Structure 1
Amino acid sequence: MDADAVVVGSGPNGLVAAVTLARAGRRVLLLEAADRFGGGLRSGELTLPGRVHDLCATVMAMAVASPAMRALDLPGVEFVHPPVPVAHPLDGRPAALVHRDARRTAQGLGRDAGAWLATVGAAAGAGLPLVDLFLKPLGPWRTAGAGARTFAQAARFGLAAALPATTFARRAFSTVEGRALVAGMAAHSVRDLRAPITAGYGLMLASLAHLAGWPLVRGGSQVLADALVAELRSLGGEAVTGHRVRRLSELSAPTVVLDVSPRQFLAMADLPAGYRRRLARFRYGPGVFKMDWALDGPVPWRDPAVAEAGTVHLGGTLEEIALSEAETNAGRHSPRPYVLAVQPYAADPTRGGHTFWAYCHVPAGSDVDMTDAIETQIERYAPGFRDRVLARHTMGPAALEAANPNLVGGDITGGLTSLIQFLRRPVWSPAPWRTPLPGVFLCSASTPPGPSVHGMGGWQAARLALRADPRKS
């Protein structure tokens, strides 16, 4: 194919970039090294025949909220919602539940009801314009419904979001339940919860539960990836698997968009010395140890309400989760790790039975088997869980990176989610998706706005590419 644009890598950002370019009239060639498209959107039979497991992303809060993904309107993709987006079991008391409705959630928090509505509820009440603003941190800021009110709401949100999660939780909430919910949400950042802006990660994710829900794609995340590839092909684009690009010199096109990590880019290209030094300073975060199970029935939660949740945060109180994340970020393995679990069957009965997955955070590149630690945390809140296991599958950092080279050292966030790298991702630039090489752009989760299935890195890179070469726009 004589391509106007080549996109390397078919994670959600690469796929969105390819479709965006194709919709603008470009002849697009998408190249993927793996034998299946999707990157973090892949699904497969990891345990038993007929059991559909997602290799990485399952819950799609950002996908339904992102302006890049909202604009796609892909046929064949159905987002399904569990009865409860998130549950947080606790020892000796009912689980804290995050419902789609903010007021119902607040009612379950007792004397913290007002605090939840004033923080998470207020962010959700600001609506999609606030989400759009934060998903486009470097512009353009002209979004539907945005105005002075949105910027004022963003300023109020930012004051809380800049805080460490531990500080925010203790200042804003007084109950064990309220503080635990903040910790469970903020721990998605894979950071020490005493670090700045970890509150922001928690607030945004919690508010999305009210604003958009935490849905799954019916049939598995692969359905979304395949729909994006089908859309690209319907626009005349070509998509090829099993083609690894090792050097940029292999490609011949006016525009090249790379859904790769900075480490890969450094190996692929001859870069100016100054940019190379800046890119080499990019830091990766801790890794994860992921487990998938085929079960003979639902997880036997001690609190039956947890069975209705799509996502379950395991780890106990704010103090326990903060200790676990601090140990991980210090390079140690927590004996009682924070465990993020997903039970897809709560929303999607089409995956061949009761599939269940969970991961805990571990030091980058860890080779420690965390099976017992993860299952012990599950048993803590669901005694008898191990008796339900028909088959299990584990992936440590090395296996995750082998399956997807963007997951350097098992880092699923595309790079350390620190304050510095929120501003410098992967380098400080008003347009960090643009590289010094003419016509070459980066779009992975190592670019703003960072991790999650939102496609914004691909949208931003494609937008810059179209502006640089507008002949067919």
Structure 2
Amino acid sequence: MSDVSVVGAGPNGLAAAVIMARAGLTVRVFETGSTVGGGSRTKELLEPGHLHDICSAVHPMALASPFFRSFELQKRIDLVVPEISYASPLDGGRAALAYRDLDRTVAGLGRDGAAYRRLMEPLVKRSEAVTELLMGSLLSVPRDPIALAGFGLAALDQGTPLWNRRFVEDAAPALLSGVAAHPVGRMPSLPSAGGGLMLGTLAHSVGWPLPVGGSQAIAEAMADDLRAHGGTISTGHRITSLDEVADSRAVILDVSPSVLLELGGDRLPPRYARALERFRYGNAACKVDFILSGPVPWTNPEMAHTGTAHLAGTRAELAAAEDDVASGRHPRRPYVLLSQPSGFDPTRAPAGRHILWSYCHVPAGSTVDMTEAVTAQIERFAPGFRDVIVRSQVTTAADLAQYNANYVGGDFGGGAVTLAQMLIRPVLSPKPWRTRVPGVYLSSASTPPGPGVHGMGGLHSARLALKDVFGLPVPSLAP
């Protein structure tokens, strides 16, 4: 018996557990996997001594999320913040580079530098307000209407077919569309523009950190804090029904709506269950991990100094690749999201070796091995890449779905990021974390603010549970 049961030890579940334990409540966490972490696990996939992130690799929210700021994550783990947050290589050895320094970024964008500044500088100057705005339900009343208005205008600028109107060259559009393609979907669109602008704002403010030792360090920091405050974690323990945790006063679920339907069964009110059934999942990813005998031989040497690269070529090429996926096709030249952590963190691979993390977007449920398409896209911008490959391993979309029940069809984002599901996630409510079962709350990426390692689903659900069930405020999270 405990005050609180948390099902799922992903970042959101662990965040909720930490908050409840620090409030003085007894907390137990149940995790199906053998380790905590969910989307922030790290393991030796291919050879001993080579640490690969299983899902997320780079963490723009690690220094910006209101939860992680309160938790003071930067005091608990080592974070490396590359000088270049992300980059989009182009043919001919050119590359668009998003430095943390906005001025330096603008200087590298040629004739479009001034237009890029006009788009991004107002957001960067209000970075904290923009982050707070997007880390809750869009149905709530914003505390900074000016930030909301500025962000909305920028999203309209980049989320409609007029997205090229301010640019005359190809570097700035490639840079913006590369980061906007993180959510899987057709482009241009308002959801992709919103996600890209938020990530771009963080790129020029706090940067995009990489955790030393891998993403698992984030999960372990939360697990350590939970245990230090009396909480327990049971790994390898799958919960199959809410009846199994009925002895707890509050239950917080870091699960998808489809899993909630299975757990809740007849306890879910029919109308609420039908709403969960209507929730839609998006397309997916095919992930390819590499061990390399040396660094990626980029044609543009500045690419070695970025933690993240978006490989697609021009904005038009990227939009065409995403349109293929949305139409159920596997692109010949896919959009490839790539991270090269061992260039910044030598603990990730033995001396003389490197690891490379990459994925491309594919239709939901895909069983297609995209290793060759991903390799060819990297080789396009780094001739000789094939010569430094020691080993590789593919994880198809179907494999991702098997790995984590929350990744329906291989959708690692917990649900399609559409305009409707920005508001209905997973139901239309200013407090969607509160289910229709008393004392039961949902904290996963299928609730606002959506995908990402930020802990905010956990914070929102824990705040409601503390208020509704225990009459307690959110405690201090400082070390």
User: Which interval holds the TM-score relative to the shorter structure?
Assistant: over 0.9
CA apart distance, 1:94: 1.6
Give the secondary-structure state (helix, strand or coil) at the position aligned to 1:87: strand
Seen in structure 2, the aligned counterparts of structure 1 residues 451 and 422 have a Cα distance that, compared at 3 Å, is same
Whether contact under 8 Å (1:83, 1:346) holds in the other structure is no
Query: Does residue 425 in structure 1 map to residue 425 in structure 2?
Result: yes
CA distance in 2, matches of 1:29, 1:166: 46
Aligned counterparts of 1:305 and 1:141: Cα–Cα separation in 2: 42
The secondary structure found in structure 1 opposite 2:348 is: coil
* Distance in 1 of aligned mates of 2:139 and 2:25: 24
Q: Give, as a single letter, the amino acid of the residue that structure 2 aligns with 1:5.
A: V
After superposition, residues 38-117 of structure 1 pair within 5 angstroms as 38-74=37-73, 76-117=76-117
Deviation at 1:171, TM superposition (A): 2.2
Question: Residue 165 of structure 1 contacts residue 202 of structure 1 at CA under 8 Å; is this kept in 2?
Answer: no
Go from structure 1 to structure 2 and tell me whether the alpha carbon gap of 1:126 and 1:213 turns closer, same or farther (over 3 Å shift): same
| 1:347 equivalenced with 2:341 (yes/no) | no
Mean CA deviation greater in 371-380 or 151-160 = 151-160
Q: Which runs of 5+ in 2 are unaligned?
A: 474-479
Q: Is the contact made by 1:435 and 1:441 (CA closer than 8 Å) also made in structure 2?
A: yes
Counterpart of 2:341 in structure 1: which amino acid?
P
* CA distance, structure 2, for counterparts of residue 273 and residue 164 of structure 1: 40
Match of 2:12 in 1: 13
Contact 2:123–2:150, Cα closer than 8 Å, also in 1: no
- 1:179 equivalent among 169, 173, 181: 173
Q: 1:70-469 alignment to 2 at 5 Å?
A: 70-74=69-73, 76-138=76-138, 150-162=144-156, 165=159, 167=161, 169-251=163-245, 252-269=247-264, 270=266, 271-352=268-349, 353-469=353-469
The TM-score, its normalising length taken from structure 1, stands at 0.96
Following superposition, the deviation at residue 49 of structure 1 comes to 0.8
Tell me if the contact between 2:91 and 2:381 (Cα under 8 Å) persists in the aligned partners: yes
Look up the SS of the partner of 2:430 in the other structure: coil
- Does the 8 Å contact 1:11/1:37 carry over to 2? yes
- 8 A contact 1:23–1:235 mirrored in 2: yes
Q: Distance in 2 between matches of 1:430 and 1:162?
A: 23
Q: Which amino acid aligns with 2:305?
A: E
Q: How far apart, in 2, do the equivalents of 1:16 and 1:254 lie?
A: 18
Q: Secondary structure at the match of 2:400?
A: helix
Q: Distance in 2 between matches of 1:374 and 1:45?
A: 21
Partner SS state of residue 26, structure 1:
coil
Identity %: 48
Q: C-alpha displacement at 1:92, in angstroms?
A: 1.5
SS in 1 for 2:5: strand
* Distance in 2, Cα, partners of 1:110 & 1:187: 23
Given that 1:166 and 1:322 are in contact with CA atoms closer than 8 Å, whether structure 2 keeps it comes out as: no
C-alpha deviation, 1:121, in angstroms: 2.1
Corresponding residue of 2:476:
none
Question: How many Å separate the matches in 2 of 1:262 and 1:123?
Answer: 33
Could you tell me how far 1:93 is from its partner in structure 2? 4.5
Q: Could you tell me whether the CA contact under 8 Å between 2:19 and 2:462 is conserved in 1? A: yes
Shift in Å, 1:141: 6.2
Contact 1:163–1:198 (CA<8 Å) still a contact in 2?
A: no
* CA pair 168-98 structure 1, distance change in 2 beyond 3 A: farther
Q: CA deviation at 1:56?
A: 0.6
**Normalising by the residue count of structure 2, what TM-score does the alignment of the two structures yield?**
0.95
**AA of the residue aligned to 1:312:** A
Superposed CA offset, 1:204-223 (max 9, x none): 11111011101110111111
In 2, the alpha carbon distance for the partners of 1:194 and 1:95 equals 21
User: Is the deviation greater in 156-165 or in 370-379?
Assistant: 156-165
1:25–1:395 CA distance, 2 compared to 1 (3 A): same
1:139–1:63 distance in 2 versus 1, CA, 3 Å: farther
Helix, strand or coil for the counterpart of 1:321?
Answer: helix
Aligned match of 1:4: 3
Given residue 62 of structure 2, which amino acid in structure 1 is its aligned partner? A
SS of aligned partner of 1:447? coil
**May I ask how many residue pairs the two structures share in their alignment?**
466
Is the 2:127–2:201 contact (alpha carbons within 8 Å) kept by the matching residues of 1? no
Instruction: From the superposition, tell whether residues 4 and 368 of structure 1 become closer, same or farther in structure 2 (CA, over 3 Å).
Output: same
Segment of structure 1 superposing worse, 160-169 or 98-107: 160-169
- Quote the Cα distance in structure 1 between the aligned partners of 2:175 and 2:5: 43
AA aligned to 1:97 is: L
Distance between the aligned counterparts of 1:285 and 1:472, measured in 2? 37
Rounded Cα–Cα distance in structure 1 between residues aligned with 2:192 and 2:51: 32
Amino acid aligned to 1:455: G
* 1:150-183 Cα deviation digits (max 9, x unpaired): 4213212112214564635312322100111111
Deviations 1:278-335 (Å, cap 9, x if unpaired)?
1101000001000111111100011111011100110000100000001101111111
Counterpart Cα distance in 1 of 2:118 and 2:156: 17
Distance 1:43 1:49, change over 3 A: same
Tell me how far 1:432 sits from its aligned partner.
0.4
2:472 and 2:465 mapped to 1: Cα distance? 11
Deviation at 1:139, TM superposition (A): 7.7
- Relative to 1, partners in 2 of residues 1:58 and 1:461: Cα closer, same or farther, differing over 3 Å? same
AA matched with 1:320: E
